[in-house]
Chains A and B, each alone.
Chain A
């Protein structure tokens, strides 16, 4: 195999003087045509910096290539990208190397049509314009399998869905037939079904054009699905490189082993009676399954919960329509158990959690928490009820007040309810820090001094402060690196075992959900389409949407690849309905007394 790109002892630094940070240290690898080369690592591993160096875009972010060679093997001879001038690089970018980015919402310019953005590269690099360029643009849209490509040309980015936008971004990158495509986390911001479609598309384009793909991701499951060869990076260094099968079956480096141990794999809980903590490297103890009680008592009963958000329109901002965020949702969560709400973005899972806490006001329904009606509660009762249910949020960076010391933030709920003061308060807070395994030294610090995982521990400590019975965890581990995610998940499960907590676990990640749940509810368009015990749903999914979701989830195991050509899932319809619209009630078919599937009307 002849390499297209050879990276040799690359070193990149940011900043200068005493504040210099070495983001990439001595990184070397080759990428050959026709292969998918995955660069995998957690945040701060230098994977994106490496790819940006290859495009010489790293300078625009304040980075500097200090050392090393980046050789692009062209037909006319090798070119050292590290030493190339601006004009040469402009020729390389978008022509010989195409690039796609993580966020399809922001990598397209909102004020230009799709055609204009597709033909830009052709005009610059190939001198093609007018009808010829339009024909080529159309061809490209067909190549990335966009439905109704003719109409798309004249549309603007906001008129397309996220998945379609990412297809357009890929089409733009493919416009000049690049010899290498750099994809930097191209599916991270996408829903799992769309992710599966995009991965299949990249795979097919690679096969058809013979280009090399440099695929950057943090997600081991995606790596297992798409990679030919893998390089694992950690803190700016390469820790391991090899074919994908070898990396997964026989990892050599300690870091790779630890990383793989932390990844929940869909299907690995098969046959296990209850959720159990992940077994991390160095952990020799036998994992304790979280067996449910013999005759569990219900803690939270949700009946016919419905939440609409008004859509305002017209010059008078009148109420013209409703977003049906949560539609006739009913479920029961038992004491000491975890019920997960899963679904893709916009399915109403978060709105459902927030409605239960009344952070948004539900339209109708009943929520009974430990024999008390939450939705009827007045202002004072609600405050009292909130002592029993707490929430952990997704973004550990935004859910802590940057201006308050950590101890004060953990103490706040205790103070609010007058549960402790003075030295007692300090001691209670210190005990909470111990409980979430954070050093007491952190008590006097501010949020910015902590990593994402540590902040999430603070958020958990804050939620635990008032000894609630129920914790609603809204995508609580989604923003964390996989090794940190595993630790936080294990902590949550440990807390459940020790304190008898109930979790309403809201997540989009099927593998994580399989790991932590006793029961599972799959949501789609505001409704629960299937609900039941974890084993029943994972081993015997009945609803078409549950099946589609299972089919789309990537598995962190290269021997279980499922990249089919041109995967196409049904797009989710709009949840916005006119005011006069009366939805049908949710009616369920019982597969077993506990496993129910929404009747398709």
Chain B
């Protein structure tokens, strides 16, 4: 436990907690209007005392937008990744562990999903279901599932071929017990790594959907939406991209460090 508060673990834990606090508390303390209030006289202004992080093309304060956008971004990305793990994990484990026909059928299904660009897939789903928060999560979640299922299947296949699994089988271990005690703990590191990377992509995917009018609806803010909007002003007002970009980067960095530490804590080999 102590390792969460030491070295990289400390940095990671701190960032993750800070981002979560902001995402949870900001909307309760800061009125929505702070993020949506336009100010045409201060369009694309650089960082000043009035606007700590500068303003966007409509003169909205980037500090408030990034702080208030945190909840949307984190919630959508987090829920979507969680959903893709919840669906992808059993698919991957069943495929990798049992192999044979089940594996072939499931993986062809996954391959079919994989052959669509993830964003296009999310777009289609979200267009069919209609643009709202839940559907955005479902869309991104489904779009990300095949990647996770593929990776988990590969890991499960690798672990299934390990002699300790064979030894357990020879000792009469049932399939359910085998998956829980032998397969799952040994593929955990891969899930953690892939999960943290997916989060970053999910934040950006949400942006893609918003841009096309299917994710977060303006004037509400999300990090992805802010990055998209900054596109036309990169040369005159780079901070409009840098501010939300830094927020995404910081969150991902924190999650990566946290994930690394979590993986180490779970791995008995690194016990100090």
Contacts and interface: CB of A to CB of B under 8 A. Distances in A.
A386 B166 contact: no
Contacts of A448: 268-269
Contacts of A387: 172
A402 B167 contact: no
Contact of A413 (B163, B172, B186, B269): B172
A393 interface: yes
Contacts of A417: 172
Interface in A374-404: 383, 386-387, 389-391, 393-395, 398-404
Contacts of A404: 181-182, 185
Interface in B118-172: 162-164, 166-172
Q: Which of B172, B174, B266, B267 has the most CB of A within 10 A?
A: B172
A407 to B, nearest CB: 13
Given A403-B185, A403-B267, A395 B170 contact: no
B49 interface: no
Interface string B173-203: 1100100011001100000000000000000
Nearest to B174: A416
Contacts of A400: 164, 167
Given A393-B163, A393-B167, A401 B172 contact: no
A1 interface: no
Given A402-B268, A402-B269, A404-B181, A395 B186 contact: no
B80 to A, nearest CB: 28
A383 B268 contact: no
Interface string A414-445: 00110000000000000000000000000000
Nearest to A317: B104
Contact of B172 (A359, A383, A399): A383
A416 B172 contact: yes
A391 B268 contact: no
A414 to B, nearest CB: 9
Nearest to A417: B172
Contact of B171 (A394, A398, A402, A413): A413
A446 interface: yes
Given A386-B172, A417-B172, A403 B167 contact: no
Contacts of B268: 402-403, 446, 448
Contacts of A386: 170-172
B163 A402 contact: no
Nearest to B162: A398
A466 B163 contact: no
A412 B164 contact: no
Contact of B164 (A389, A390, A399): A399
B38 to A, nearest CB: 55
A395 B269 contact: no
Contacts of B172: 383, 386-387, 413, 416-417, 466
Contacts of B271: 446
Nearest to B188: A403
A108 to B, nearest CB: 25
A189 B28 CA distance: 67
A462 interface: yes
A379 B270 CA distance: 39
A523 interface: no
Interface in A317-364: 357, 359
A401 B187 CA distance: 12
B130 to A, nearest CB: 42
A359 B160 CA distance: 12
A399 B171 contact: no
Contacts of B174: 416
A401 B166 contact: no
A490 B163 CA distance: 24
Contact of B170 (A390, A394, A401, A402): A390
A391 B186 contact: no
A459 interface: yes
Given A402-B186, A402-B268, A403-B185, A412 B166 contact: no
A416 B163 contact: no
Contacts, number: 72
A588 to B, nearest CB: 31
Interface residues of A, number: 29
Contact of A391 (B167, B181, B266, B269): B167
Contacts of B173: 412-413, 416
B193 to A, nearest CB: 16
Contacts of B168: 401, 412
B103 to A, nearest CB: 13
Contacts of A466: 171-172
Given A359-B166, A393-B166, A395-B163, A401 B171 contact: no
B169 A359 contact: yes
A61 B269 CA distance: 21
B269 A401 contact: no
Interface in B215-272: 266-269, 271
Contacts of A401: 164, 168, 181-182, 185-186
A178 to B, nearest CB: 40
A466 B172 CA distance: 10
Nearest to A399: B163
A260 to B, nearest CB: 32
A389 B170 CA distance: 8
B263 to A, nearest CB: 12
A571 B268 CA distance: 45
Interface string A439-474: 000000010100000000001001001100000000
Nearest to B173: A416
Nearest to B161: A398
A395 B171 CA distance: 17
Interface string A244-263: 00000000000000000000
Interface in A125-151: none
A311 B178 CA distance: 28
A22 B117 CA distance: 53
A390 B172 CA distance: 10
Interface in A42-63: none
Interface centre among B171, B181, B182, B266 (most CB of A within 10 A): B171
A459 B167 contact: yes
Nearest to B184: A403
Contacts of B186: 401-403
B7 to A, nearest CB: 15
Of all A-B residue pairs in the complex, the 9 with the closest CB atoms, nearest first, are A413-B171, A403-B185, A446-B268, A399-B163, A416-B172, A448-B269, A393-B163, A401-B164, A398-B163
Given A359-B169, A393-B163, 16 more contacts: A386-B170, A389-B170, A391-B166, A391-B167, A391-B170, A398-B164, A401-B181, A401-B185, A402-B267, A402-B269, A403-B268, A412-B168, A446-B269, A448-B269, A462-B167, A465-B171
Interface of A: 357, 359, 383, 386-387, 389-391, 393-395, 398-404, 409, 412-413, 416-417, 446, 448, 459, 462, 465-466
16 contacts: A391-B167, A394-B163, A395-B163, A398-B162, A398-B163, A400-B164, A401-B181, A402-B268, A402-B269, A403-B268, A404-B185, A412-B168, A412-B171, A417-B172, A446-B268, A446-B271
